[in-house]
Amino acid sequence: MKILLSCIFFRNFTGSEMYVYELAKNLVKEGCDVSVVSQHTNGPLVDIAKKNGIKVFDMKNPPGFKLIGNSYHKISDVNFDIIHCQHVPMTQAMISLYPNIKKISTIHSEIINVESPVKHPSILRYIAIRPEIKNHMIKNFGISENLIDVIYNPIDSERFNKINTKKENYLLFVGSLENLRKKPIFDLIEYTKSKNMELWIVGTNHSNYLENVLSNSHVKHFPPTQDVERFFKNCSETGGILLGRTTIEGWMCGKPGWIYDVDKSGNVINKSYHEPPLDVNKFSSQFVTKQIKEIYYKIK
């Protein structure tokens, strides 16, 4: 199959970017011709993707088109079997450029507006990365339950596993520092302090509160990194918002995690502690890719 994946960002090691990369990498391994198109492609993830046989385009030159001024000019025909969309602006762009190609759309969050589902006759199915998102799509957007599949984030089980793990005295929080993560981070600062643990935060700083966070001597901050699994293999537990990659990657390394449910303003609705589930293999990239390929073939 020939597949085009679209997303706003494809340059660094964050949530939806890694979703697209993991899916694309495994589709290539299974013999698919895979391209990724994004508004932002100037980062280390692009080089890694190309080494794995993934073609990468930016929105100045999406497949078959060239942006001249403010208008796209068609320069060649394209023959993708499926376009797999993420994020509202990129989904709308794919509809505009390729209105007749069959599409599916993955929705990564129920609280971020850019993750809202887009309706169009060419979008034949939707993927929700957790059950709460499926419920949100049905309740708030009127998407038919029959059009939505719940398929979790794909995680590389060759990197995230129980091999050579140990338990050091730090809690790991991975993710960009911004408003949605602010209150969970400050709650974890107090929790780790009470347990005489360190808090290690890995992610890009998009906040105005990092200096305040680092005023606590037991907190460390690290930039995003390709080999983040080394942090997971050595931590004692994890913390994250919603059921995101941090929790799942920790589970696959045998580490329990705190899950913070937050609203659109970043207020904590609930927090809960979870041991790794018995069926953790359902998060492996190979299993997730197989599920998604089955959807591709259904609508092709």
By residue count, the chain amounts to 300
Q: Judge contact between 174 and 240, C-beta under 8 A.
A: yes
Single pTM value for the model = 0.89
142 Cβ contact list (under 8 Å, min separation 6): none
Q: Is 150 exposed, middle or buried (0-12, 13-18, 19+ CB in 10 A)?
A: middle
Q: Residue 14: what pLDDT? A: 78
Angle between the N-to-C axes of helices 285-299 and 15-29, in degrees from 0 to 180, rounded to the nearest 10: 70
Q: Residue 41: what pLDDT? A: 86
Q: Residue 294: what pLDDT? A: 96
Domains in the chain: ranges and CATH: 2-154+284-299 (3.40.50.2000), 170-279 (3.40.50.2000)
pLDDT 10s digits, 212-227: 999 999 999 999 888 8
Mean pLDDT of 270-283: 95
Q: Judge contact between 71 and 88, C-beta under 8 A.
A: no
Q: Residue 73: what pLDDT? A: 95
pLDDT at 38 over 90: yes
pLDDT 10s digits, 191-246: 999 999 999 999 999 999 999 999 999 999 999 888 899 999 999 999 999 988 99
Give the 3-state DSSP-derived string for 179-233, with helices as H, strands as E and coil as C: HHHHHHHHHHHHHHHHCCCEEEEECCECCCCHHHHHCCCCEEEECCCCCCHHHHH
Q: What is the band of 273 on the pLDDT scale with cuts at 50, 70, 90? A: very high
> What share of the chain has pLDDT > 90, as a percent?
90
Q: Residue 112: what pLDDT? A: 86
pLDDT at 188 over 90: yes
Mean pLDDT of the chain: 95
Q: What is the band of 42 on the pLDDT scale with cuts at 50, 70, 90? A: confident
CA–CA separation, 84 and 41 (whole Å): 17
Q: What is the band of 43 on the pLDDT scale with cuts at 50, 70, 90? A: confident
pLDDT 10s digits, 133-179: 999 999 999 999 999 999 999 999 999 999 999 999 999 999 889 99
Q: Residue 63: what pLDDT? A: 97
From the list 293, 173, 187, 140, the residue with the least C-alpha distance to 244 is 173
Q: Residue 193: what pLDDT? A: 98
pLDDT at 19 over 80: yes
